[in-house]
C-alpha cells in the first residue's frame, strides 16, 4: 500500500490544525479563539480516523466539540469577557513565552527525529470499538474506576468552587 490518499489527508489536516492552533493562541477575539479550537479538535478527530481509531474519533467529536467547547463558551459568557476584538488578551512576556515554546519544539523535534527516524505505521484493519471496550473492562478496570472517581471529585469540586454562598 502506498497510503497516498492518507498522506494527502494528513497534509491537509496538519496544515489546518497548525494554523488554527496558532490562531487559538494569538487571536485577539476570545470567541474566535474558541471557534479555532473547534477546528483543531475536529482535525484531531480526523487524525484519529487516519489512525483507524474510529471510536475515539466519535468520542472526540462528542466530548470535546460537543461538551468542552460549549463549556468554554459558557465560561466566556459568565466571565463577561469582551466578545469583540480586544487588546490585553496577552501578557507582557510574549517574547519569553515564544522562546520557551520554540525551545520545547526544538527539543521535541530533535528527540523524535533521532529516536523514531523512519519507523512506519502499518494499519491493516481498523481497531474495533468492541476491542476497546474489552480492553477497558478486562485489563484496565481499576484505572477506569479511578477515572470515574476522579470525575465525581471534579464534579463536586466544581460545584463547591462555583456556588455562590
Partner 1 sequence: MLPPIASEAGAAAAQSFEAGWLTRHVWLIPLLAVVSFVLTLLFGKRFKSGGTFFGVGLMGLALVLSTALGIEWMGRGHVALEEHSPAAAAATYRGTASGDEARPVGEVIEEAERTGLPKPTGSEEAGGEEHALPSGRLGVPMAESGGGGEEAAGGHAIEVRPYYEAEARWFAIGAVEVGFGFHVDGFAVLMLFTVCFISFLVHLFSTEYLRDDRRKTHYFASLGLFTAGMLLMVSSSTSLQLLLGWEIMGLCSFLLIGHWWEEDKNSNAALKAFFTTRTGDVGLLVGLSILFFGASQTFNIAKTNADAITGQIPSAWLLAAAIALFIACVGKSAQFPLHTWLPDAMAGPTPASALIHAATMVVAGVYMVGRFYPVFFSAFNIANNALGFNVIAVIGGITIIIAGLLAFVQQDIKKVLAYSTVSQLGYMVMGLGVGAWTGAIFHLFTHAFFKALLFMGAGSISHACWHSFDMRDFGGLRKHMPKTFLTFMIGTAALMGLPIFAGFWSKDEILLGAWTNGYRGTLFIVGCAGAALTCAYMTRVVYLTFWGDYKGPTTPDAIEHAQHAAHGHDDAHDEAADAHAPALVDATAYQEGAKASADPGVQAAAHATVQSERGPHDNEASHTADHHGDDPHGTVPLGGYPHESPWPITVPLIVLAVMSVVAGIINAPFFGLQFTHFSAIEAIVAAGVPEPAFNMTVAVISTLGALGGLALAYAWWFAGVRFGLEGLSRRNKLAGAGLRLLENKYYLDALYERIIVRGIKGPVATVVYWFNQNVLDGIVHATAWTARRSAAFTYDVLDQGVVDGTVNGVGTGAGGIGRGFKSMASGKVQQYAAYLLGGAAAGALVIFAITFNRS
Partner 2 sequence: MYLNQFLLLAAALFSIGVYGVLARRNGVLVLMSIELILNAVNINLVAFGAYHGQVAGQVFALFTVAVAAAEVGVGLAIVLLIYRNKRSIDLDQVAQMKG
Residue 35 CB, shortest distance to partner 1, in Å, is: 24
**What are the grid coordinates assigned to 90, written together?**
496577552
Q: Tell me which of 25, 63, 70, 103 binds partner 1, using CB under 8 A.
A: 103
- How many residues sit close enough to partner 2 to count as binding (CB under 8 A)? 87
Angstrom distance (rounded) from CA 25 to CA 159: 29
- Which of 103, 122, 131 minimizes the C-alpha distance to 51? 122
Could you say which of partner 2, partner 1, none residue 114 binds, taking C-beta under 5 to 8 angstroms by partner kind? partner 1
Dist. CA 93–CA 100, nearest whole Å: 11
| Footprint of partner 1 on 112-131 (CB under 8 A) | 114
Question: What is the distance between the alpha carbons of residues 144 and 130, in angstroms, rounded to a whole number?
Answer: 16
86-115 residues near partner 2, rule: CB under 8 A: 88-91, 93-94, 96-98, 100-102, 104-105, 108-109, 112-113
Does position 68 bind partner 2 by CB under 8 A? yes
Amino acid at each position: 500500500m502506498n497510503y497516498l490518499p492518507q498522506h494527502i489527508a494528513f497534509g491537509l489536516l496538519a496544515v489546518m490544525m497548525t494554523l488554527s492552533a496558532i490562531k487559538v493562541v494569538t487571536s485577539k477575539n476570545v470567541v474566535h479563539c474558541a471557534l479555532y479550537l473547534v477546528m483543531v479538535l475536529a482535525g484531531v478527530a480526523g487524525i484519529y480516523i487516519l489512525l483507524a481509531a474510529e471510536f475515539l474519533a466519535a468520542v472526540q467529536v462528542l466530548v470535546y466539540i460537543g461538551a468542552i467547547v460549549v463549556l468554554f463558551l459558557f465560561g466566556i459568557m459568565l466571565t463577561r469577557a469582551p466578545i469583540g476584538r480586544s487588546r490585553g488578551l496577552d501578557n507582557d512576556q510574549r517574547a519569553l513565552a515564544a522562546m520557551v515554546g520554540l525551545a520545547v519544539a526544538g527539543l521535541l523535534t530533535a528527540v523524535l527525529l533521532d529516536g523514531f527516524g523512519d519507523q512506519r505505521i502499518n494499519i491493516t484493519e481498523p481497531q474495533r470499538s468492541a476491542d476497546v471496550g474489552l480492553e477497558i473492562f478486562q485489563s484496565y478496570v481499576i484505572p477506569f474506576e479511578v477515572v470515574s472517581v476522579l470525575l465525581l471529585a471534579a464534579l463536586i469540586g466544581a460545584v463547591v468552587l462555583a456556588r455562590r454562598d
